[in-house]
Chain A
Amino acid sequence: MTTNRSVSKSVEDARENGNATSSRRDFLKTSGFLVVGVGATSMAGPFSAAVQASAAGEAPGPYPDLDFRKLDSWIVIRQDNTATFYVGKTDLGQGTGTAFRQVMSDELDIAYDKTSCVMGSTDVTVDQGGSGGSDALQTDGWPMRRVAAEARRVLLEMASAKFGVPVEALTVREGVISVTADPSKSITYGELIGGRQFNVTLSGEDVNKVAGRASLKPVQELKNVGQSPPRDDIPAKVDGSLKWAVDVKLPGMFHARNVKPPVAGAKLVSIDESSVRGIPGFVRVVSKGNYVAVVCEREEQAIRAARELKVNWQKPATPPFPRSEDLFTYMRSTAPTFTSDPQVVGDPDAAFAAAARVIDADYEVPFQGHTAFGPAHATADPSNDQMTIYSNDMKSYGLRNGVAKFLQMPRDRVRVVWMDGPQAYGRTAADDAGFEAAFLAKEIGRPVRVQWSREEETAWDTKGPAYAVRMRGGLDGQGSLVALEYDARAADHNHLGYNEHDTVLIAQLAGMRRAEPARGRSSIPYDKYTIPNRRLQGSVVALPLVWETPLRTGNLRDPDGPQVTFAFESFIDELAAAAGADPIEFRLRLLSASTDDDEGFRRARSLAVIKAAAEAYGWDARPSPKPVPSGDILTGRGIAYTYRSQTMVAQIAEVEVNRRTGHVWAKRLVCAHDCGLVVNPEALKRTVECGMLHSLSRALHEEVQFDTEKVTSVNWSSSPTLTHADTPERIDVVLVNGDPNPERPDLPHYGAGEATCKPTLAAVANAIFDATGVRLRRVPFRDERVRAALRAAGV
């Protein structure tokens, strides 16, 4: 039994479940795929526990919303005593599907391997928002546990009635209920309810608060939680049997490719369709405003047509943005569009005036792209007055809602079939290709598959915002930090990372966008340091071109913690060095300065992760930097710490810096990580490893480069990424797992993934300083930049 990763499996489940109701539809499978043929089609949900939401007088559409207050929307138990959980989240490869099976099988009291999980398709799962914010277990773990517990309670009541004994006289184990005093009297869940509906109504004002009458089990009674069953999505990814969103093939399907403006902000003047009419398989050029696509019968034909289509564009009168080399000068000299109210503790001005020593520094993180391994793609089927979008959108429910508004279709005629796709990390929360496929399918009246090119994806995907941060710190005569100032500028005006019908790229290009840009944000650091006087403030700056720009910002893993933490934790390291203190001791002093606890015991847990990281690494206390030896290879180690929501992270990087070439190798990484209750330790360790390495890639390689017209870093040569050669020799992940004080209550399951991405940039920069005595304040630390900094410092 598995988490559903493919349409074919989902169809099988739907068929099975649909047999119990009148909603079975006709399916046809070709090449392992659902083919949406003639006739309205729908995967029957879990017993069609749907809300009939159509407007009065209008025929209901084929895809009504599932009712989150019905137990049958969440769990189906079959006669063979297996259970399927329907979860409105998407598993992007971190194993949340496996984790939901673990927590839910524990609460339901059924063997883990008798369960399966269906995720993310909008017509068979309740809208829980899909993925985002590393919240799958932190937020959605609770309603999923509660519905599973409620199913167990209902089953126990059914058994109680059957055997004529009170519930308290029953024992339940792995889906079998028996009379405790007479174990010969027993019945399985499947015998009690298999193939039938619970018909139980749940309470709760929204999907996150949904609950039954059952209580949850205490942590100590959870058996599958804390184990590491192998991730159930992996075998099909390894043997080639998984059907991905890129694999969808429908009868009569056409292939489309976009033709983007060659200069950001260019306006379409005319299209010479005769330039491509002779290409075999050519179908049509579709354009609206500045959105242009070619449609052909085969994809290599569409690729050729997109390349050869002659389009006359008019360049904008003013440059859309400064050159990437001039970005930070521009950001510092441009009036912000928004400035947050400062967070002030104590009297920073007086403290700086009285400080024995004041130091300051500027930090810079450029725009960094998602540069997903597979460019954007989706396939849409417009048959029978409905729209089905096959998509890897991490927020499939948002895509459904957005497309319904974009195409002005009733929501219950639009569905998204969620399927696996390449590395999401926020990119598919603004699913450009999903909207484009639906738009083109409606225009053409046939199924259309859209696939972006590599260059298009790398240039036009959503970007993590650039940050320019000014830090200032004051030390007293004893080297204690008495004043701190953080002032950030984020190039994040009009942050557009979502599936909104009036902000996705096609809406902008097609002239269907909203008038008002989004405000964007500028974040402040997350730490539990006790600094008696501090002022934290952030501003947002806008680039000249606000819409239809390839420098559109969106959510890239956190979405700005790596930038903010790079500045803040680098500067804490600078202060430690200025104070002549060991970087860890300096941080521990700042964390020990208060004994007040806070929500989730974050200070105590911050101390615990830093100490755990130091112990795992074998940290010897001494100030940075080390004396620089002779020879080409300089080694050093650095630490950085932060938290996200309730998850604490401390990381140590050990680097080798080649003095001659400037090349940096992170030879070893250590992460001490505390996300509370750990559901699947092995899956978590891998997520932490990969999250660190993603940020290592951002530290060493990644930068969006552009001239005053367009993005110029557009493929894996001009937009390099971490490779096998960069991989650390050793990675240690320490799951600290909870509060060090045994008297306190057990911690719940917090979010794990994105917190991991935050401290790595600073840990690497601090290690480079330790090795060389040179402080790198500009990301990424590419060879030429490091070499120049070392030469400038005479190293």
Chain B
Amino acid sequence: MSRITLKVNGTTHSVDVEPSTPLLYVLRDDLDLHGPRFGCGLGQCGACTVIIAGEAVRSCVRRVSTVAGAEITTLEGLSVNGTLHPVQQAWIDEQVPQCGFCQNGQILTAKVLLDRNPTPTDAEIREAMERTLCRCMTYYRVQAAIRRAAQATTPSQAHAGQED
């Protein structure tokens, strides 16, 4: 075990874990952040997605020791002072989720897409979201919500919402 410092959603934490432990289990079990979830443990589905340095990262295959000190954002950290991020608001307005288990990955991957490309084309949305799976098959509404969020967010606002 070793002591590792993590900065998550603006708060600094110190945890005592094996350095090889996937970040996912540290976030969930040690820091009680349940936005990221276990779906495959293989980096294939996106349920465990977090944002690190502007990238959508699959925390189930990222060793905790490799992200010590980095700024990590989870779904819980997306809203600011109780105000939902425009992507989250679009998700509610579009009534996207069914079971909702995958939506952490859908929302965070969409946020990263819109931070980089505030006005994506349909093809760009499909490409950016391609590896983020949903078994309730909410894809149609996820894509509609991304278009809605893109329309609701001017490029300057999108930049302001970028915390990485």
Chain A residues with a Cβ under 8 A of chain B: 31, 92-94, 230-231, 233-235, 237-244, 246-247, 249, 280, 298-300, 303, 371-375, 420-424, 451, 453-454, 682-683, 686-687, 689-691, 693-694, 696-697, 715-717, 721-729, 731
Contacts and interface: CB of A to CB of B under 8 A. Distances in A.
Nearest to B103: A237
B139 A454 contact: no
Contacts of A31: 32
A70 B17 CA distance: 52
A513 to B, nearest CB: 29
A548 to B, nearest CB: 25
B77 to A, nearest CB: 8
A731 B138 CA distance: 12
B57 interface: no
Interface string B15-44: 001100110010011001011011111101
Contacts of A723: 130-131, 133, 139
Contacts, number: 172
A454 B39 contact: yes
A373 B41 contact: no
7 contacts: A94-B98, A303-B41, A373-B133, A374-B39, A422-B99, A690-B136, A715-B40
B143 interface: yes
B97 interface: yes
Contacts of B88: 238-239
B152 to A, nearest CB: 15
Contacts of B75: 239-240
The secondary structure that dominates the A interface is loop
Interface string B69-108: 0000011101100001000100110011111111110010
B47 interface: yes
B59 interface: no
B84 A716 contact: no
B101 A373 contact: yes
Interface size range on B against A:
35 or more
Given A300-B21, A454-B39, A93 B99 contact: yes
B140 A454 contact: no
Contacts of A716: 40, 42, 44-45, 133
Contacts of A241: 76
Which of B74, B103, B132 has most chain A Cβ within 10 Å?
B103
Contacts of A729: 122
Contact of A374 (B47, B107, B137, B140): B47
B32 A93 contact: no
A373 B134 contact: yes
A373 B39 contact: yes
B18 A280 contact: yes
Given A280-B1, A724-B142, 14 more contacts: A93-B136, A94-B98, A234-B100, A238-B100, A240-B76, A244-B34, A244-B101, A372-B135, A373-B99, A375-B39, A423-B99, A683-B95, A723-B131, A726-B139
B2 to A, nearest CB: 12
A723 B45 CA distance: 10
Contacts of B135: 371-373, 422-423, 694, 721
Given A423-B135, A724-B143, A299 B25 contact: yes
Contacts of B17: 298
A393 B127 CA distance: 34
Given A234-B97, A373-B101, A690 B92 contact: no
Given A244-B34, A300-B21, A453-B41, A727 B140 contact: yes
Q: Top 3 closest A-B pairs, CB basis?
A: A237-B100, A693-B137, A93-B98
Secondary structure class of chain B's binding surface, majority of residues = loop
Given A374-B101, A423-B98, A423-B136, A234 B18 contact: no
Nearest to A729: B122
A454 B42 contact: yes
B79 A724 contact: no
Contacts of A690: 98, 136-138
Interface in B108-137: 122, 125-127, 129-137
- Residue of A31, A687, A716 ringed by the most chain B CB atoms within 10 A: A716
A238 B95 contact: no
Contacts of B78: 239-240
Contacts of B159: none
Nearest to A716: B44
A150 B136 CA distance: 37
A722 B137 contact: yes
B95 A230 contact: yes
Contact of A298 (B25, B92, B130, B133): B25
A300 B47 contact: no
Contacts of A689: 137, 140-141
A238 B84 contact: yes
Contacts of A299: 25, 29
Contacts of B122: 729
A454 B47 CA distance: 12
B56 to A, nearest CB: 14
Contact of A454 (B41, B102, B132): B41
A371 B39 CA distance: 11
Contacts of A374: 37-39, 47, 101
Contacts of B21: 300
A678 to B, nearest CB: 15
A769 B101 CA distance: 36
B125 to A, nearest CB: 7
B40 A693 contact: no
A245 to B, nearest CB: 10
B102 A373 contact: yes
B46 to A, nearest CB: 10
Nearest to B89: A238
Residue of B102, B129, B137, B139 contacting most chain A CB atoms (<10 Å): B137
B18 A300 contact: yes
A421 B37 CA distance: 11
B146 to A, nearest CB: 10
A239 B101 contact: no
B90 to A, nearest CB: 9
A532 to B, nearest CB: 40
Contact of A238 (B47, B97, B98): B97
A422 B22 CA distance: 21
A717 B99 contact: no
B140 A728 contact: yes
B42 A715 contact: yes
Given A722-B137, A725-B130, A235 B98 contact: no
